[in-house]
Amino acid sequence: ATQRRETLLLPANTTPNCFTLTRLLTTQTSAQRQKLFKKKYERMTKKLRNKRLFCNTLLGFVTFLAAAPSAVAPTALDSVADFQALCRVYNLHRAKETIELSLQIAGLSDEDEEMIKLNLSTATDTYFEHKDKDFDNEAAGTKTEATAAWKQSNFDKIKHTGTGAGLYRRLENKAEWARTNEQIRNLIDRRKLLLAKYKAAKAASESGLSAAADALTNAVFGPGKKAFDKGRFDQNGGAKRHKICGNDEAGTEETATGVAEALICICTGQDGVATAECDDTLTDQVQDSAIDQGDAATAAWHSIKGRCELLSGPKVLNAATIAALQETAGSRIGILNSGTTAANGRYTLGKANTNTCTGANANTQCVNYKKQLTGSKPGILWVNSLHDASSELTKAEAKAAEAHAIAAAIDELATQARTAYTASAHDIAKPIQVAQTIATTTSKVTNEADCNNHQTNTTYKSPCTWHQYENDTYKKFKLDPVKVAEQAIQAGTGTQIEKKEKCAGKFEPDCSKAPECKRKSETCKD
């Protein structure tokens, strides 16, 4: 008893004796303890007549009674661990607008300005000046205005500013620009296809992000709810406290669908006010069978969420954060339940000694999820919502990565278009020189007399033919008419004469200014 002085609320200098203990039990203990002591006292007084023995027995009994936990005298913060776990789910919902994907998706325009300019720089005159006669069907005045506006717009797009060579000057060589323009137009068409895929991936990623945020809201207020639904606690038409908290051993299908309702079950009383089981400021009461309980629940929720908001929220909100908190909150089921009936199991949040969460006292101020976790096991709805949020974010991350890769491929197309244009401009400015071989005769065709001058086979020379059995020494070699014809065709080794056009590669207005040049078929010619 001396060691339990603080528990018994004895004055510091008081020595426990029969008198002080008796007075303590009759003035400072609960009604149940007084009743229990009275019965025990009556039994003891009948059996024990010796005063000394009576006092010693009484002292031992009171010491035991003070040390034993009371079923009706709750301890503050009994349910604080579950309270904080559920609060962190609420704080995920509060932070949903800060969800970030690991890869940010940049916006892409429908057309690439660089590729459009390069296309104009290599386009034909008919396209550049009047869009391949697209305006021919317009009325006369409209046609003139539309054509002029089109041409001026194109000039403005490729107009060179500053010093140095123009980045988008129009190419002059017809063959070169036709080839280059075809390459650039193919790249533009390729960009359109990739852009469609990019937009689809980007939209899917943004949709997943939005779905994840909605799932976090569902985890707090229940499926399809955007805010606290006080109607669930109303007398008229509501599920009311007993069903929401699960006052039956087997549980109910209405058991708290969101953490907001679960927090009300563990942090408010039914028969009386709560006694700070969740927080030292939370002493609300929400009843099952009383009017205006929707308003009472709303007031309690306002107090509860205010205390939740004092807890630190997530520093980074992503799929991994949500999945981790889902496991943490879900693993709290049954931790604070001290029930010992094995057949019943432990399926509660909040301090309890049974699955029957009536809210009548501290040990039934809980929420019972037995119905959700047994039988067909549909699962706790707010835990399912957390899983959905994590899953949606994971899919959003994958789509964001896909969009990011497509965007990189699209950016590369503009580089390829610029490379094609630069190569074409270089080839036009510095064309490959064309060499022409003009055959010139270096020796005359051999005649019959030339052949006759050769008298031995060792001096053979085409187109002469050696005739071994000829009796005339001067006719051993004779002219071969076939070889003569071949010699005439193949006569001479020839010399290379280079022919270079002076005007090739000139651009306007240089072409028109040069007297030796003339613009012909969109090309500068000698």
Length of the chain: 526
The pLDDT, as a whole number, for residue 309 is 96
Q: Are 77 and 37 spatial neighbours (Cβ–Cβ below 8 Å)?
A: no
Percentage, residues of the chain above pLDDT 90: 49
State if pTM tops 0.75.
no
3-state secondary structure of 347: coil
- Looking at residue 475, what is its pLDDT? 66
Average pLDDT value for the chain: 80
Evaluate if residue 20 carries a pLDDT over 70: no
258 or 161: whose pLDDT is higher?
258
Task: Looking at mean pLDDT, say which of 71-80, 143-152, 290-299, 426-435 comes out highest.
Answer: 290-299
> Could you tell me which of 482, 485, 202, 242 has the C-alpha nearest to residue 356?
242
- Report the distance separating Cα 408 and Cα 399, nearest Å: 14
Contact assessment for residue 435 and residue 498, using Cβ atoms and an 8 Å cutoff: yes
> Quick one: what percent of the chain has pLDDT higher than 70?
69
pLDDT given at position 286: 97
**pLDDT score for 47:** 52
The first and second tokens of residue 402, run together, are 């896909």
For 112, other C-beta atoms within 10 Å of its C-beta total 20
For 375-415, what is each residue's pLDDT tens digit?
999 999 999 999 999 999 999 999 999 999 999 999 999 99
3-state secondary structure 298-345: HHHHHHHHHHHCCCCCCCCCCHHHHHHHHHHHHCCCCCCECCCCCCCC
Q: Which two tokens stand for residue 499?
A: 């022919």
What is the average per-residue pLDDT within 295-311?
97
Delimit the domains of the chain by residue range.
5-67, 80-99+225-386, 438-498, 500-526
- Would you list the DSSP string of 410-429? HHHHHHHHHHHHHHHHHHHH
Lowest mean pLDDT among 113-127, 171-185, 422-436, 454-468: 454-468
For residue 343, is pLDDT > 50?
yes
Average pLDDT of 58-78? 48
What integer pLDDT is reported at residue 357 of this predicted model?
96
pLDDT tens per residue across span 489-509: 555 443 343 445 667 666 666
For residue 352, which amino acid is it?
A
Q: What contacts 24+ positions apart, CB below 8 Å, involve 479-488?
A: 479/446, 479/447, 479/448, 479/450, 479/451, 484/445, 484/446, 487/445, 487/446, 487/462, 487/463, 488/445
pLDDT for 13 equals 45
Distance of alpha carbon 187 from alpha carbon 198, whole angstroms: 16
Strand 477-479 to 464-466 pairing:
antiparallel
